[in-house]
Amino acid sequence: MKQIILATMLAAGFASPVMAEDISLGRFFGACENAGSDTKTSVGEPCIIQSIINAASEQIDGVTVNTLPTDWGNYYDQLKAAYAGKTPPNVHVMHRYRVAEFAGTGALADLTDDLAGAGIDVSDWEAAAKAGVTYNGKIYGVPMDFHANLWHVNMDIMQQAGLVKDGKPVLPTSVDELMAQAKLVKEKTGKEYLIGDFSQFETGVRVVMSLIWQQGADLYNGDTATVNTPEAKAAIKVLTDLFAAGYADPKYNYTDSQQAFLNGEGAILINGTWVVDYYDSQAADPAVALKNYYAATFPILFKDKAAWAGSHMWAIPAMLKQNDPAKYAAALKVLAFINDHDGDWARTGHMAVRKSVLASDAYKALPHRTEYATTAGLARTMPPSKHYGAIQDTLNREFQAIWLTNKDVDAALSDAELDIQDLLDR
Amino acid sequence: MAVYGWSGKRLGQKSSAALLLTPFVVAYLAFLVIPFLNGIWISLHNWNLMAVAFDPNAKEFVGLRNYERILWGKNIVWSPAASPLVQWSAAFVLLSTLLLTAFGKISRGTAVLVGSIALILFVACGFHPGAGGRWYDRRFWPTVGNTILFVALTVPSITIISLSLAVLVNRESRAMAVFRTIFFLSQVLSVTVVTLIWQLLFSPRQGLIANVITLFGGSPIHWLTDERFAMAAIVITTVWWSLGIAMILFLAGLQDISRDIYEAAALDNAKGWRAFRHITLPNLKRTITLVVVLQIILHFQVFGQSHLMTGGGPNDSTQTLVRYIYQTGFRDSELGRATTMAVFLFVIMGAFSLVQFLLGREDKD
């Protein structure tokens, strides 16, 4: 009966043209002051998403969208506090790996039966994208992208080192090749081979995880932590060897690493898909030292095809669906609008989740898209856990302790294993 | 002041006091006492922030288990040389206090206070995991240690620098008024602004400090990501930020000292450092105690500098107690554990408030 009432109210919500609803929206990605509402010309994650939101606010009848001020670093803490205080945003973005925690505690609305009514075609989603927003057989969000780490390449430095063939960078296919290339770059150009934020952001964890997966292992399996393994040691050794030889610097933070790459101080930057359009636009700027930019798929250094990937998605609080069907219907319209603009969001560099967008000529024609087209085939994510955030932080802390403070690898991995096991046992 | 009741009848002293105190007591109970007692109640539960918000029955009473999981471990033993430097220093202080008391060199109150702190340090630092043992939460005590180190570095620095500044600007001239304002200005900034300013200054690529070091032929320091400098970086930031209020307190204290004493001392040729040593310092004793205790209580709650500048790293070297409480409560949703740590922090700060109370009482004696 409750479902019938809800369905009727939803139908009424969609049918009635003028029911002004103010939708609050929570997101990360950073701030964009003057995003406008032209979803076709905005550049960079913050401005592209804000232009889509502004356009939704302008174009959806009877709905205005108010973007709440949030901070990237503390986003989930703010979101949880808002949920605990029973004042969550009506619509909010999140990562797929947080679904277990949020949907598991009953925070998120089950959208399974309401998406079609809102004009969202679930069959158009890639299977992996649908799986990412599904928990216990129910759909709890609308996926927006796949994102992964790429190797952002300065082609001029690679050319100087003789590592360009047929207009493409020659990237390593084994650890030995990686070290040989790094040595070559250093000798021929005097520059660093690899740049990345290995001191604060989770780049190091994502690289190490990718290299562990490439060896067929994982960091935890069900309720058992498996961090202190030969595979983890081999993965970490790849980075520590680069640091020890001076081919990479572990002390850069995110801003410094990005600036170093744009200044032409290193051959390769490890960062995500989210900066492809930004680096592309920077390379076109005469004032920037980076001139020839290439976005390459994360290389396979061991036997298996695997590299860290994630997915952004949009969700609605369960309490909105229960308490305010009209606002819930308006929130679904916002989600549908964002889903319709999956192709615009993909301009950031992220991979689209809709089959129709992926097959479109416009998508294929996006800058550098063909250069990392194989990335989707490597995508791998950590097993779902309610303690994902704490597990990430534990790994980040212990891995960074190895290369920033010379903590013994065995001690760091065994400490990480103890801490993660402690989390999994709770 | 006469207070009148509803009937227009003048109230007695007790009734007036009760009436006037009521607004404060109500606010104090509602916003401090009840939340504090609620915090203790939460600390006795396995309480998930999100789960309990949606289902009040999702919590589980666990008694003192959270305290055990945080403070204790498996096979914990005690020895007099677990942390030799701290324990033996504490033992030395304890023995010295006993000797000085025996010879009547220090008052009994001071002896009890210093002796108690030394004894607590000697005993507390002696616990460690025995063979095959481990702390249940191996990060908690190092985090407490970091917080104490932060306080130990920050409080004396702020006290000495702000006192020096107060003495220097304690003159009646327009220039000194300008300096007083400038030195106080940093105090009004929010932690976000302060940490942003100092992150820019500490940046090894374009920071002012790196540029100066490079100018003299040195290589830039990675202040925020190098274990040797990260704590120093947040201490420097905090000292710069916190000088203002301490300086104002000292200025108030300095202006309370009668000019006559300095003039009399000058006749006896006590000027400059001697006047400072024998007149200013003794007269500022109570202000110094106030500043030190207030700063200790304030800086035990350090959070923003560590959270925004270093993220507690590298290798937890700048992880502080309030940041750990915040992470446990919000990142991990473990409100029970987080409030347990908060109760522990309350005990520490309560102890320092007690110290202030005891020292204040001794002054009156």
Length of chain B in terms of residues written? 365
Domain that holds residue A413: 149-309+381-425
Task: Kindly list the residues from chain A whose CB atom is less than 8 angstroms away from the CB atom of residue B222.
Answer: 199, 251
Is B185 a member of any domain?
yes
Are residues A153 and A140 part of one domain? Answer: no
Is B159 a member of any domain?
yes
Using the predicted structure, report yes or no on whether residue B118 has a pLDDT greater than 60: yes
A41-49: Cβ within 8 A, 24+ apart: A43/A277, A43/A278, A43/A281, A44/A277, A44/A278, A44/A348, A45/A274, A45/A348, A48/A344, A48/A345, A48/A347, A48/A348, A49/A345
Are residues B315 and B229 part of one domain? Answer: yes
Give the residue numbers in A contacting B (CB under 8 Å), as ranges.
73, 76-77, 80-81, 83-86, 101-102, 105-107, 199-200, 250-251, 253, 255-256, 259-260, 318, 387, 389-390, 393, 397, 400-401, 404-405, 407, 415, 418-419, 422-423, 426
Task: Kindly list the residues from chain B whose CB atom is less than 8 angstroms away from the CB atom of residue A318.
Answer: 54
Mutate to test the interface with A, among B134, B227, B333, B337 (most CBs of A within 10 A): B333
Q: How many domains does chain B have?
A: 2
Find all residues with CB under 8 Å of A169, minimum gap 6, and list them.
A151, A153, A155, A158, A163, A294, A296
Indicate the SS3 state at residue A368.
coil
pLDDT (0 to 100) of residue A342: 95
Is A375 a member of any domain?
no
Are residues B205 and B121 part of one domain? Answer: no
- H or E element, residue B129: strand B127-135
The strand pair at A91-95 and A21-26 is best described as: parallel
> Rounded CA gap, B70 and B60, in Å?
17
User: Tell me, what amino acid is at B269?
Assistant: N
Is A364 a member of any domain?
no
Q: How far A130 CA lies from chain B's nearest CA (Å)?
A: 25
Are residues B248 and B176 part of one domain? Answer: yes
Task: Kindly list the residues from chain A whose CB atom is less than 8 angstroms away from the CB atom of residue B226.
Answer: 251, 404
Looking at residues B11-24, what average pLDDT do you find? 90
> Rounded CA gap, A207 and A238, in Å?
10
Q: DSSP character for B271?
A: -
Measured CA angle at B62 (ends B59, B67), to 5 deg: 120
Partner residue opposite A81 with nearest CB, options B224, B308, B330: B330
Instruction: At A327, list the tokens.
Output: 């606002």
Q: How far A103 CA lies from chain B's nearest CA (Å)?
A: 10
Are residues B253 and B218 part of one domain? Answer: yes
Using the predicted structure, report yes or no on whether residue B351 has a pLDDT greater than 80: yes
Are residues B233 and B306 part of one domain? Answer: yes
> Rounded CA gap, A122 and A113, in Å?
11
Task: Kindly list the residues from chain A whose CB atom is less than 8 angstroms away from the CB atom of residue B317.
Answer: 405
Residue B5: pLDDT band (50, 70, 90) is low
Partner residue opposite B316 with nearest CB, options A76, A397, A418: A397
pLDDT (0 to 100) of residue B338: 97
Q: How far B226 CA lies from chain A's nearest CA (Å)?
A: 7
Q: How many domains does chain A have?
A: 2
Are residues A172 and A272 part of one domain? Answer: yes
pLDDT (0 to 100) of residue B364: 53
Q: Chain A contact for B142, CB < 8 A? A: no
CATH of residue B227:
1.10.3720.10
Q: Chain A contact for B55, CB < 8 A? A: yes
Using the predicted structure, report yes or no on whether residue B3 has a pLDDT greater than 80: no
Q: How far A262 CA lies from chain B's nearest CA (Å)?
A: 13
pLDDT (0 to 100) of residue A222: 79
Domain that holds residue B239: 142-364
Are residues B110 and B219 part of one domain? Answer: no
First vs last C-alpha separation in chain B: 32
Chain pair A-B, CB pairs under 8 angstroms: 92
pLDDT (0 to 100) of residue A1: 46
Q: Where does a domain end: B91, B116, B135?
A: B135
pLDDT (0 to 100) of residue A170: 96
Are residues A159 and A128 part of one domain? Answer: no
Phi, psi of B219 (to 5 degrees): -105, 140
CATH of residue A177:
3.40.190.10
Task: Kindly list the residues from chain A whose CB atom is less than 8 angstroms away from the CB atom of residue B304.
Answer: none
Are residues A259 and A132 part of one domain? Answer: no
Q: What is the mean pLDDT of chain B?
A: 90
Are residues B209 and B88 part of one domain? Answer: no
Check if the beta carbon of residue B88 is closer than 8 Å to that of residue B343. no
Check if the beta carbon of residue A204 is closer than 8 Å to that of residue A400. yes
Are residues B91 and B154 part of one domain? Answer: no
Check if the beta carbon of residue B336 is closer than 8 Å to that of residue B66. yes
Are residues B276 and B154 part of one domain? Answer: yes
Cα distances (angstroms) measured from residue A141 to each of A65, A80, A345, B19, B121: 18, 17, 17, 55, 53
> Rounded CA gap, B183 and B247, in Å?
8
pLDDT (0 to 100) of residue B343: 96
Check if the beta carbon of residue B97 is closer than 8 Å to that of residue B118. yes
Query: Lowest-confidence range among A8-22, B23-37, B238-252, B320-334?
Result: A8-22
Are residues B214 and B282 part of one domain? Answer: yes
DSSP line for B200-264: HHH-TTT-HHHHHHHHTT-----TTT-HHHHHHHHHHHHHHHHHHHHHHHHHHHHHTS-HHHHHH
pLDDT digits (tens, 9 = 90+) for B134-191: 899 999 999 999 999 999 999 999 999 999 999 999 888 888 889 888 888 888 999 9
Is A140 a member of any domain?
yes
Are residues A162 and A274 part of one domain? Answer: yes
pLDDT (0 to 100) of residue A387: 87
Predicted-complex ipTM score: 0.83
Is B276 a member of any domain?
yes
Are residues B282 and B248 part of one domain? Answer: yes
Is B55 a member of any domain?
no
pLDDT (0 to 100) of residue B354: 84
Partner residue opposite A84 with nearest CB, options B49, B313, B334: B49
Query: In this complex, do B314 and A405 lie within 8 Å of one another by their Cβ atoms?
Result: yes
Phi, psi of A317 (to 5 degrees): -65, 145
> Rounded CA gap, B282 and B284, in Å?
5
First vs last C-alpha separation in chain A: 38
Run means of pLDDT, 10 residues per run, chain A, 426 residues: 50 53 94 90 92 96 92 89 94 93 93 96 93 94 95 97 96 97 97 94 95 95 91 97 96 90 96 94 95 96 94 96 95 97 94 94 92 89 85 93 94 94 87
Q: DSSP character for A352?
A: P
Indicate the SS3 state at residue A387.
coil
Is B317 a member of any domain?
yes
Q: Which residues 284-323 on chain B approach chain A with CB closer than 8 angstroms? A: 308, 311-317
Partner residue opposite A401 with nearest CB, options B134, B137, B315: B315
Are residues B323 and B205 part of one domain? Answer: yes
pLDDT (0 to 100) of residue B265: 87
